[in-house]
Structure 1
Amino acid sequence: MTSTTVHVARSGPVATLTLASKRGAFGPAFWRDLPAALADLGDARALIIRGQAGTFSVGLDLHQTAPIIAAALPQDGEFLRLVDEMQQALNALAALPIPVIAAVDGWCIGAGLELISACDVRLATTSARFSLPEVTLGIVADLGGLSRLPPLIGLGRTQHLALTGDPIDAPTALNWGLVTELHDTEDALLTRAETLAARLAALPPRAAEGTKRTLNAHLPHADSLRHAAQWNADHLDLNALGAHLQKLSRSNG
């Protein structure tokens, strides 16, 4: 799928979604284009999300969006409808049954940070920068970051990001656990993302999905144990397990 806001390309089982707007800004069309692109992934087994031209995303396109918000606020329920459309777009990303890798180079701001919090793995370049500045604009971040970030980086660090609006650099993001790897260049970042995506795409799909579902449910310990066991009871891939056991037998033989 190609639109003015997202481009999707395929390489075997791996799909790559590029944020195509200038500086990766999210205008009104993005919130319709993203769910459509995700629904059109077909049999892709892993997804990479990237920006372009040295910027991942500057977040919400305020020039396009602010007039729409201003017009919606006086209308009963219209503002909530607009926000719900945006929230559902990122919910659709989080709900994908396949692994999603965010490859972040340059700035990742506001809604861009909320987007990567809905991904499964976050990689970055050493020049990446992250911020959640909504509070400084008189806005509460309302696209999922305030609920998705605490399990990733802790409540205190989320509070620091969300209440100060201050940016953090890539080493800090790595230290906090917001990203799990840093790479020196965008080329190195994308090469690593593609290699990792190919590896994740080769996983037994039901096992990958069940792992995602269990992690993202954020259940209490006992409920999480039950959820994982029930998933295996319903979906255990005996062929994959048998192939792995045969491989182990040959290597030990």
Structure 2
Amino acid sequence: MHEYQSLKVEQQGAIAHILINRPAKANAMDEAFWTEMVEVFDWVDQTDSVRVAVISGVGEHFSAGIDLAMLAQAAGSLTQDIGRNAERIRRNILRLQAAFNAVDDCRKPVIAAIHGYCIGGAIDLISACDMRYATADAHFSIKEIDMGMAADVGTLQRLPHLIGDGMMQELAYTGRAMHGDEARQLGLVNKVYADHAELIEGVMTLAGEIAAKSPLAIRGTKEMIRYSRDHSVAEGLNYIATWNAAMLQSEDLKLAMAAHMSKKPAEFAD
């Protein structure tokens, strides 16, 4: 497995566990993080033996968001030319967005396991995941407003699909903190665990359950859910009809049917 600077990647059976690994800095997202996320999720996407990805944080926190040293450095590189500055900043924002687009676009389900701080850029990250689970003391905050800026790597685009506009706007305009139980009530997280150990155990068990399903069926399901978020019902129905015209001829379908009849678990090819 490739060595990364800001991430730690472990493959446990069919599960890829991606850990944000800068515990001394509350897992703040530094320069290396943004390029490594793209590489890691390309690897998850391309590796057939990986069926599910889990993201968590090493140490006390999930992540305190973008490393402010990185922002300061970007500010220091500006010139006198407004046009060139704007073009450079825009290009940089699009580069950061690509790190979380890689999560959203990944063919495999991605589960976030959140404890401690989940602030600013970390909210953008979990918004791009398929499911979120947290500890009771997890601390969520759309902190960008207190930095004098609008969140720009996905929170404002993806979060309304998860918790609805009203609460999303309250959180985005105030930057206030929210803990595990409130996040659960809003539907941002699916379940709250007492502590970090229970959280990881619970999420890994769930990931294992998903990994045991037909990879083709999981792939199609994720593709349709993502497509439907951004298209009309009619377009989504048309797409699944075309998709399943091929996929319903898969070996996985016969295996799943046989397993159902014999009440034994099916073994699907990668």
Identify the residue that residue 226 of structure 1 maps to in structure 2.
Answer: 238
Structure 1 CA distance, aligned partners of 2:101 and 2:223? Answer: 13
* CA positional deviation for 1:227: 2.0
Indicate yes or no: 2:111 matched with 1:98.
Answer: no
Deviation at 1:121, TM superposition (A): 0.9
Structure 2: gaps of 5 or more residues: 264-270
Alignment-derived partner of residue 74 in structure 2: 68
1:162 aligns with 2:168: no
Describe how 1:1-253 pairs up with structure 2 within 5 A: 1-21=2-22, 22-41=25-44, 42-43=47-48, 44-72=50-78, 74=82, 75-76=84-85, 77-217=87-227, 218=229, 219-236=231-248, 238-251=250-263
Quick one: distance in 2 between partners of 1:28 and 1:65? 10
Q: Deviation digits for residues 183-203 of structure 1, max 9, x if unmatched?
A: 111111101111111111122
**What TM-score results when the alignment is normalised by the length of structure 1?**
0.94
Q: Give SS of 1:222's match.
A: helix
* Of 162-171 and 241-250, the range deviating more from structure 2: 241-250
How far residue 205 of structure 1 moved from its aligned partner, in angstroms, is 1.5
Q: Sort the Cα spacing of 1:249 and 1:40 in 2 relative to 1 into closer, same or farther, 3 A.
A: closer
The amino acid that maps onto 1:150 is P
Looking at structure 2, the residues matched to 79 and 60 of structure 1 have their Cα atoms a distance apart, in angstroms, of 15
**Alignment deviations for residues 9-31 of structure 1 (CA, whole Å, 9 cap, x no partner):** 11111110000122110111111
Paired with 1:50 and 1:237, the residues of 2 have a C-alpha distance of: 37
Give the Cα–Cα distance (whole angstroms) in 2 for the partners of residues 40 and 105 of structure 1: 25
Distance (whole Å) between structure 2 residues aligned to residue 244 and residue 30 of structure 1: 39
Q: TM-score, normalised by structure 2?
A: 0.88
**Partner amino acid for 2:237?**
L
Contact kept, 8 Å, 1:27 with 1:65, in 2: the verdict is no
Q: Distance in 2 between matches of 1:115 and 1:243?
A: 35
Count residues in correspondence.
251
Instruction: Tell me the CA shift for residue 165 of structure 1.
Output: 0.6
**Aligned partner letter, 1:55:** H
Larger displacement relative to structure 2 (78-87 or 195-204): 195-204
Offset of residue 67 of structure 1? 2.1
> Matched residues, percent identical?
34
Distance 1:52 1:176 in 2: 26
Matched residue of 1:56: which SS? coil
Equivalent-residue separation in structure 2 for 1:237 and 1:66 (angstroms): 54
**Per-residue deviation at 1:237?**
5.3
SS at match of 2:129: coil
Unaligned 5+ residue runs, structure 1? none
Instruction: Tell me which residue corresponds to 2:266.
Output: none
